[in-house]
Amino acid sequence: MAKDALDLLNFLKWDQDRSIHVFGVSLGGMISQELSLLIPSRIKSMTLISTRSGNAFDFPSLSILKMFSKVSMKAVTYEQGLDLMMDFLFPDAYLNQPTTEGRTRKDELRDFFKSWHNRPRRQSPAGALGQVCAAVGHHCSDSNLEKISQTLSPGKIAVVLGDRDEMIYAVRSLQLQDRLPGSELVVFKDGGHALSCQFSKDFNMLMERIMMEGNQAFAFKKEPKHI
């Protein structure tokens, strides 16, 4: 999948030195690690969100596997599947917060996801299984993580996590950050897996700051003057 991302970047002609900011969430964060090993010289900043480096014994919990199975095999209705998914993406305390007219955040999120989720079609069972297998099979070694830190330098690297994440446990993200020398750790208190949705304003501000710092890291590289 990292090679697929590279093919897309090449097609878009985003191939300049130190020209891209990479943000990867969950499985996307795992793909980002592999992408940074392929094209470190193109990257200004890399932000790994709600993700991990993986190891041979890092399997999803049984409850997560059951959820993926029920949703992908259509053992539940579409609305029930959304509710199951939200229960893993967000903490209960957040979902149960009242909003307006007797509604909760879960009600509003359900409406939000209905507006775009599963379009143009619902994920197939094979697709869901492939997604789980890709996440389980991912492993970026400590030596490769150190290589990422070295080759992206002086670019910005950040690891972002929610301390209530039920999909990727916070300890796994902490281990990832610890093995990326020089990286910044950002923790969203009471945050679940879908941080960009739960903390949209703060998350967007964080993205802007990271991109700015990534740009500043290479600001000293100016175009040569022609006399």
The pLDDT of residue 55 is 73
Which residues, including other chains, have CB under 8 Å from residue 33's CB and lie 6 or more apart?
24, 48, 53, 138, 140, 144, 145, 148
Placement of tokens 């960009």 in the chain: 196
The pLDDT of residue 70 is 77
pLDDT tens for residues 175-224? 999 999 999 999 999 999 999 999 999 999 999 999 999 999 998 655 54
| C-alpha–C-alpha distance, residues 104 and 98, integer Å | 4
Amino acid at 102: G
In this prediction, the residues of the chain whose per-residue pLDDT falls under 50 are 224-225
| Cβ(218)–Cβ(155) below 8 Å | yes
pLDDT tens for residues 154-166? 999 999 999 999 8
CATH topology of domain 2-54+141-212: Rossmann fold (3.40.50)
Taking alpha carbons only, the member of 15, 222, 33 closest to residue 134 is 33
